[in-house]
A and B are shown apart, each in its own frame.
Chain A
């Protein structure tokens, strides 16, 4: 479904040189759940943004359902069936939760339908449906609304950048149930950038990115033990970084 071919991304570095964020990243995704993991600053978020079209790679191609989408805009990719949940959800003045979920669904949906999406992510729909998506919502609430939007879109490929960050009070079991429900609805692929063992544990495939390269790729059975081995000691933090995470 999704294929990354030799993706590279570099930015101008000090002294006129180049800093390479991603180097020759290639892999294919067709499984139900795929997790991308790796140390902070390894280029995971950049990779997710390249898939969504927010960042243009400086090398390589992005293939979606056999079509080269490297030169397509964010909008065109969204319409072809790619959804992207931001690591740090965006706030809007005056736009309500219902507005965003309607826009995500692509039609004017009923209050009952919008409420269903909110209930699935553990928000009491009645309290939230007419709230503005502004600074009055906490990071965790915004994060759940972000996930509800992806559910409302129901596309072939859903990409999540650290969905677990900020929703501490909400059990991971529920988050995992949301992903399972999403798969039942879309029968598509769900790509999750995560550091959480319990999310990695549901992955059919794990891609480990380190220093801008694919360090490991394989099934959960192959990869998870190597990540959890004490000698690995790969992580300095359970949480990912910002845009460059």
Chain B
């Protein structure tokens, strides 16, 4: 296999916290093409033949294994749409690390859109980590539009951690989930936008099964002239629990809109939404300044903690 160059290695570290080709199962996509695929005994990765993307089959009962599927774009002017389907067998306990890093050194737009569909088997546990990161010294825009579709079978559990902290000029994130009896979906989303960036994030969760539940938490910081829109729609169609929360810090001339919507279609549905938007509390800044930090240092600490 060819080696990654230093720019690609840096992107890999940013989105997957790894420096080299990972151990175990992986699929690495670089500049619009598959760079390497490795299956293992329990995790099989198959390239799609009809469209770009892969099918991943995780055997029932696979425990404590991980899968890395990073995407790197280091050329300007690439636009791609990739379909990745995850078939996670019953009783699995696995970690999936996805993520996209763009280094756009040119003046054209670089765009990666991934459609990830999860089929989470009965009683399976999945931890899904997705980081998005952009950089570049040119004027080209970095665009990422991830779509995540989750089908959760009985008593399954999925935890999604998504983060987009730097360098993505425009993003439109869509997450849709359907939960069967006893299934639970936990989402922690972190977003920071700056400059002229725009980020839209949309959650649609159908709580169809008895005793299922979701907890969708979005924390974001909007700086400079950036704009953010948070939309969440939780439908309680059975005896279930749903909680959605948007907590945003605005700075400079940034704007944030939060549109939480909960819909109870069953008398035993219990749904809560919370949304809070505001600047950093003055007393937090002052407290840290009494410890000897400058106002700017205090601000960095507060934001760093908020998005930790």
A residues near B, CB below 8 A?
52, 54, 73-75, 78-79, 82-84, 86, 89-90, 92-96, 99-100, 103-104, 106, 132, 149, 153
Cβ distance B250 to chain A, nearest Cβ, rounded Å: 15
Q: From the candidates B219, B292, B308, name the one contacting A75 in the complex (CB within 8 A).
A: B292
Cβ distance B306 to chain A, nearest Cβ, rounded Å: 5
Interface string of B289-303 (1 = CB under 8 A from A): 111111100000110
A94 touches B305 (CB 8 A): yes
Cα distance, A94 to B302, chains bound together (Å): 8
B306 touches A78 (CB 8 A): no
Cβ distance B227 to chain A, nearest Cβ, rounded Å: 22
Dominant secondary structure of chain B at its interface with chain A = helix
Residues from chain B with a CB closer than 8 A to the CB of A99 are 301, 305
Residues from chain A with a CB closer than 8 A to the CB of B304 are 94
B289 touches A93 (CB 8 A): no
Cα distance, A78 to B305, chains bound together (Å): 22
Total inter-chain residue pairs, C-beta < 8 Å: 58
Task: Identify the closest chain A residue to B294 (Cβ).
Answer: A75
Known: A92-B284, A92-B305. A75 touches B247 (CB 8 A): no
B291 touches A78 (CB 8 A): yes
Task: Identify the closest chain B residue to A99 (Cβ).
Answer: B305
A103 touches B288 (CB 8 A): yes
Other A-B pairs, 14, CB within 8 Å; known A132-B305, A149-B291: A54-B286, A74-B290, A75-B295, A84-B290, A86-B283, A89-B287, A90-B281, A93-B247, A93-B305, A95-B301, A95-B302, A95-B305, A96-B305, A99-B305
Cα distance, A106 to B293, chains bound together (Å): 9
B residues 267-284 near A (Cβ < 8 Å) are: 281, 283-284
**B307 lies within 8 A of chain A by Cβ:** yes
Sample of 30 A–B contacts (CB below 8 Å): A52-B290, A73-B289, A74-B289, A75-B289, A75-B292, A75-B295, A78-B289, A78-B291, A84-B290, A89-B287, A90-B283, A90-B284, A90-B287, A92-B305, A93-B247, A94-B304, A94-B306, A94-B308, A95-B302, A95-B305, A96-B305, A99-B301, A100-B291, A103-B288, A103-B291, A103-B293, A103-B301, A104-B291, A153-B291, A153-B292
Cα distance, A106 to B283, chains bound together (Å): 20
Known: A93-B247, A94-B307, A95-B305. A75 touches B293 (CB 8 A): yes
Residues from chain A with a CB closer than 8 A to the CB of B305 are 92-96, 99, 132
Cα distance, A89 to B291, chains bound together (Å): 13
A92 touches B289 (CB 8 A): no
Residues from chain A with a CB closer than 8 A to the CB of B290 are 52, 54, 74, 78, 82-84
Cβ distance A171 to chain B, nearest Cβ, rounded Å: 27
B residues 66-95 near A (Cβ < 8 Å) are: none
Residue of A83, A90, A100 with most chain B CB atoms under a 10 A cut-off: A90
Task: Identify the closest chain A residue to B292 (Cβ).
Answer: A78
Residues from chain A with a CB closer than 8 A to the CB of B293 are 75, 103
Cα distance, A100 to B247, chains bound together (Å): 22
Task: Identify the closest chain B residue to A83 (Cβ).
Answer: B290
Cβ distance B188 to chain A, nearest Cβ, rounded Å: 12
Task: Identify the closest chain A residue to B281 (Cβ).
Answer: A90
Residues from chain A with a CB closer than 8 A to the CB of B302 are 92, 95
Residues from chain B with a CB closer than 8 A to the CB of A82 are 290
Residues from chain B with a CB closer than 8 A to the CB of A149 are 291
Cα distance, A206 to B289, chains bound together (Å): 28
Task: Identify the closest chain B residue to A152 (Cβ).
Answer: B291
Residue of B289, B294, B308 with most chain A CB atoms under a 10 A cut-off: B289
Cβ distance A143 to chain B, nearest Cβ, rounded Å: 13
Cβ distance B59 to chain A, nearest Cβ, rounded Å: 36
Cα distance, A164 to B280, chains bound together (Å): 28
Residues from chain A with a CB closer than 8 A to the CB of B288 are 103
Q: From the candidates B281, B286, B292, name the one contacting A79 in the complex (CB within 8 A).
A: B292
Cα distance, A95 to B301, chains bound together (Å): 8
Cα distance, A14 to B283, chains bound together (Å): 27
Task: Identify the closest chain B residue to A100 (Cβ).
Answer: B291
Task: Identify the closest chain B residue to A104 (Cβ).
Answer: B291
Cβ distance B303 to chain A, nearest Cβ, rounded Å: 9
Residues from chain A with a CB closer than 8 A to the CB of B286 are 54, 74, 90
Cβ distance A160 to chain B, nearest Cβ, rounded Å: 12
Residues from chain A with a CB closer than 8 A to the CB of B247 are 93
Residues from chain B with a CB closer than 8 A to the CB of A73 are 289
Residue of B286, B292, B301, B302 with most chain A CB atoms under a 10 A cut-off: B292
Cβ distance A196 to chain B, nearest Cβ, rounded Å: 23
Task: Identify the closest chain A residue to B247 (Cβ).
Answer: A93
Task: Identify the closest chain B residue to A91 (Cβ).
Answer: B284
